[in-house]
Structure 1
Amino acid sequence: MIILSPALRRASAAGVALAACLAASPAVSAATAPPATDRDRAAATAVHSTGTGTETGAGLDRYYRQRLAWGTCIQGPDDAMGRGLEKAGVRCADVTVPLDYADPRGRTITVAISRLQATDTRHRIGSILLNNGGPGGPALQSPPDVRKAMKEVGPRYDIIGFDPRFIGRSTPLDCGWPVGTSILSAGLSRASFDRQVTFQKGLADKCRATNASVLPHISTRNTARDMDVIRGALGERKISYLGYSYGTYLGTVYTQLFPGRFDRTVLDGALAPDGYGPRLLQGAEPENERALSDWAAWAARRNATYGLGRTRADVLATVRGVVAASARGLTVGTAPEVFRLDDTQVPSLITAEIADDTDAQRAALGEHMAVLHKAASGQPTRLSPQFAAALRNMLNGEDAKSAGAQSAIICGDKPAPRDPERYWRDIERSRTAHPLFGPLTNNIGPCAFWDRPREKPTQVRHDAPALIVAATGDPRATYKNGLALHGLLPSSRLITLKGSNRHGIYGEYGNACVDGKVNRYLATGRLPQDDQTCVKRAG
């Protein structure tokens, strides 16, 4: 599953939410001194005084100096996304980057980028690069939506979307997985957990068998290096950045590998680097329970529509009953499309859908729980096209390519514990207090069976004047993550949104306070003098 927030990401109803869910060296400019590793020395050597920050040395010249062939984003007659981008005036190109930055004369791959050029050229600020989270979320499609979110300041930027290496339209990765997510619950029994161990090991083995030569080079650090090549190829001395969720970790890594090369930086739904890794959601159980409880109160007021209970407690009891019934198997849908769900999958569906407290998303979860409640009672069920598509993605592997790529990134960033018994002990320890979420947040995943990362995780050693956005009730990147990142970056400023269980705020949630403060920063380049607070709108 991907940690993506809803609107700008166009995320699927069931497969999104999690996996990372969802940093390097002394404080000197990478233009004058290299970071610690050979790959960083290759990626951060001396800068020519050409006025564009073009790299030279270590065989990277050809990447930083490449000329981009901008053209249509349409890839075929059925490419609806490409047609939409074309209509919006977006152009696309491929950026060539080395597979291994320690061997820049070796194998190359491509990173797909898109550009919506500034129309207010007289007041142009520069380029802003987008990342929608994940890990492994594409952003090629995002420039038109981001321009709308930026309002009056949008026309002053070239807005650059990109699909990170091995994602979307970039050089692809196919692990051959049969499912669209690897983030599942351990279920209600030891037997269910043991099946998960076998399943997750099989996923890791399958991906390694077909991609052994590239997996060591799939990591956030290499994606950050690709971002700097994009910056150079665009002819920018510095580049601005807007990252959501996992994209905040990527943005933080970029600031550490390439200090002095970033301009205005917005990190929304922030992840603390020390907390990022294969077990990112461990410890987020209280925030998820609070979000579920708030949704249950919402659903109780609409019992006539969803039939889940007249009180918050009644709705939560219904949810528990559905999960218990799923241990025996739930069958939903009608022929010819019927799905069977178990107690590893139903908690995953619930967790995926509570990171957005808008009425539209709450209604979607209400509809889905009503279907599962009927199935648990042995009644026939009908699925909306949206719910059927979400289950198809999750259970039948329609989104399996992105699931494999996102696991490759997070497993390539930080090692996970190897011993299945450690996971089982954590599951059992958390189950009493958190019976629904504990077995999911502590479950084993493919990273337990992955090869060890080639590089050590990035450590934050450089300050960065970023604007951080965090909601107090965010069940994905919890508020304490935003506070921790803010503490690591003393020059940063924090916008706190109180009273919201939402993951991803700016430009998506409709909060005028947050949007106005972010756009003011993007327009002026000046951070607020102090940290700021906004409040969720009543409703």
Structure 2
Amino acid sequence: MPLKEFYDQQVNWSPPFEDGLERATVVVPRDYSDPDGPKLTIALARLKATDPAKRRGVLLAVNGGPGGDGGDGLGLVKRLGARVRTAYDLIGFDPRGYGESTKLYSEVTIPKAPFDSRPPDSLFEQLAEDMRLRELGCQKAGGELRPHITTRNTARDMDVIRGVLGEEKISFVGYAYGTYVGAVYGTMFPENLDRTVLDSCINPQWTWREQFVTQAEAVYRNVELWAKWTADRNGHFHLGTTADDVIAEIEKVVAKLDDQEQVHLRTLLDGAVGTRATDRAQWDSLGYLIGDLGTALDDGNLDKARTLIVGQGTWRPQDQEGDLRVGVLEAITLETYWPQDLEVYYADVRRHRAKHPYGYGVLRAQPWVGAFRTFESLEPPTKLAQPGYPKGLVVQADGDPMDRYEGGVVLAELLGHPLVVIEDSGDHEVYGLAGNEVLDALVDDYLVDGVLPEQDRVTVPGHVQRPDIPKD
């Protein structure tokens, strides 16, 4: 079956569901070098352009992940704004491996190491063993499909979608891992790409290992900014007159929790500090929290401290239900190099535990399944390149806690795109999703009317304001 037959297949859209989306599926080869081999199904969703007279094509969107972690898949297009809906048929899809597309499964393995934001050296071997078993679970359930769940194959699937829809070109909006998907598509199929927006960028010059490890540093930048703001208002918060003083107050609370063997509470507190520091609107509540915790623990009132911390509602991993789960994250992140020497991971955990303990970034430095990989990639990652790549737009918040600011800078320079920096913002995935009207208007001007900024770098303000508390 030649590839042309995949491009020429007929797509049959369902009537609109209650959410307004039409649904369909397309068939793609599991292995594009063997189109006569096994096939995969890709699930699509469509919102037709609201003004057919102004329609200029189709726009695909991808966010979250890799593997749908935090991503909306088919439903992402519903979150884009009214203006872009007038000009495009918005196409959502679940990339190969998850959602309503053909799934890549992994066996569920339950970690034995406790959830600890600052794991001691005594836990290192168990953390590594948990990851070894996780990789085995991925291989047992995923088997022959795993090597074919790649960014390059997702880009190829996107081009099949383009062909099936009868379009010469597609436009694209990508968030987080979706920025890399879009950049790979534009490198592999530059003649088929129209307008592209890459928001909250994966750094294309980093391995997945480097991408993981730098999250701790990205969160800590926000903590430092919060600490400086709080120190400037010591008369209000009473946590010290310098950023170092304020962070020292956090560590005093941490030490008191550790003294009482409250690892669970200390871990939740680290999560709360990282989460609240990235959200400018919650800077005052974080200051109050640290002060109230210090008072409660000084008074020996652990119950009150527990109530304060648990009430923050911070994220923690949930136990998986059933025997199988989606294993795309573990497949995609093995596209790049992972050290086999466990001491490399242990050294990074020690470093971040000492310097960047807030949020859960320290855990990103621990061994990953890549240290125990059971398959080899069938082709190298894409080397992103400019030739023929149409100029688009890169969007990056300066305080993005997940994909560091530098990723946006590097990707914009590499592709020759203007960079839009959202200043004083801890947002991640912004255009059309976060409520930043200034940014949304700028991006809409490009997607709808083709208007790009004249400068290589422009700034827009973050839409989340710091609390209105004057300096001392």
When normalised by structure 2's length, the TM-score is 0.82
Given candidates 414, 428, 442, the residue that maps to 2:336 is 414
1:475-507 residue CA offsets vs partner (Å, 9 max, x unmatched): 2222211111111112x1111122212222212
Worse-superposed segment, 437-446 or 494-503: 437-446
Is structure 2 residue 434 aligned with structure 1 residue 509?
A: yes
Question: How do 1:94-109 residues align onto structure 2 when only pairs under 5 Å count?
Answer: 94-109=25-40
Kept in 2, the 8 Å contact 1:238–1:261? The answer is yes
Partner residue in 1 for 2:279:
357
When normalised by structure 1's length, the TM-score is 0.72
> Mind listing any 5+ residue stretches in structure 2 that lack a counterpart?
467-472
Given candidates 139, 145, 154, the residue that maps to 2:73 is 139
Kept in 2, the 8 Å contact 1:241–1:266? The answer is yes
Question: How do 1:486-505 residues align onto structure 2 when only pairs under 5 Å count?
Answer: 486-490=412-416, 492-505=417-430
Displacement after TM superposition at 1:288 (Å): 1.6
Matches of 1:177 and 1:370, distance apart in 2:
40
Given candidates 292, 295, 313, the residue that maps to 2:223 is 292
1:314-361 residue CA offsets vs partner (Å, 9 max, x unmatched): 764565466554698658xxxxxxxx6785x8756765x368525379
1:182-204 residue CA offsets vs partner (Å, 9 max, x unmatched): 9x877342112222111111111
Judged with a 3 Å threshold, the aligned counterparts in structure 2 of structure 1 residues 438 and 284 are, in CA distance, closer, same or farther, namely closer
Judged with a 3 Å threshold, the aligned counterparts in structure 2 of structure 1 residues 133 and 512 are, in CA distance, closer, same or farther, namely same
> Among the aligned pairs, what percent are the same residue?
34
Q: Which amino acid aligns with 1:119?
A: T
Judged with a 3 Å threshold, the aligned counterparts in structure 2 of structure 1 residues 346 and 372 are, in CA distance, closer, same or farther, namely farther
Displacement after TM superposition at 1:454 (Å): 2.0
Given candidates 434, 437, 447, the residue that maps to 2:356 is 434
Kept in 2, the 8 Å contact 1:288–1:475? The answer is yes
Partner residue in 1 for 2:368:
445
Displacement after TM superposition at 1:300 (Å): 9.2
Matches of 1:278 and 1:365, distance apart in 2:
33
Matches of 1:390 and 1:107, distance apart in 2:
39
Given candidates 274, 281, 284, the residue that maps to 2:205 is 274
Matches of 2:328 and 2:379, distance apart in 1:
18
Is structure 2 residue 386 aligned with structure 1 residue 462?
A: yes
1:259-306 residue CA offsets vs partner (Å, 9 max, x unmatched): 111111000112221114133133454432121244567889999xxx
Matches of 2:91 and 2:311, distance apart in 1:
29
Kept in 2, the 8 Å contact 1:97–1:108? The answer is yes
Given candidates 396, 421, 424, the residue that maps to 2:346 is 424
Matches of 2:231 and 2:301, distance apart in 1:
19
Is structure 2 residue 444 aligned with structure 1 residue 519?
A: yes
Instruction: Give the match's secondary structure for 2:172.
Output: strand
Matches of 2:29 and 2:118, distance apart in 1:
42
Is structure 2 residue 273 aligned with structure 1 residue 379?
A: no
Partner residue in 2 for 1:484:
410
Q: Which amino acid aligns with 1:291?
A: N
Judged with a 3 Å threshold, the aligned counterparts in structure 2 of structure 1 residues 123 and 386 are, in CA distance, closer, same or farther, namely farther
Given candidates 4, 9, 14, the residue that maps to 1:66 is 9
Displacement after TM superposition at 1:207 (Å): 1.0
Q: Which amino acid aligns with 2:347?
A: R
Given candidates 391, 397, 400, the residue that maps to 1:471 is 397
Judged with a 3 Å threshold, the aligned counterparts in structure 2 of structure 1 residues 310 and 415 are, in CA distance, closer, same or farther, namely same
Judged with a 3 Å threshold, the aligned counterparts in structure 2 of structure 1 residues 365 and 261 are, in CA distance, closer, same or farther, namely farther
**Paired residue total:** 450
> Mind listing any 5+ residue stretches in structure 1 that lack a counterpart?
1-57, 74-85, 332-339
1:422-451 residue CA offsets vs partner (Å, 9 max, x unmatched): 212333345443355774343221121123
Instruction: Give the match's secondary structure for 1:289.
Output: helix
Partner residue in 2 for 1:49:
none
Q: Which amino acid aligns with 1:454?
A: L
Q: Which amino acid aligns with 1:497?
A: I
Partner residue in 2 for 1:50:
none
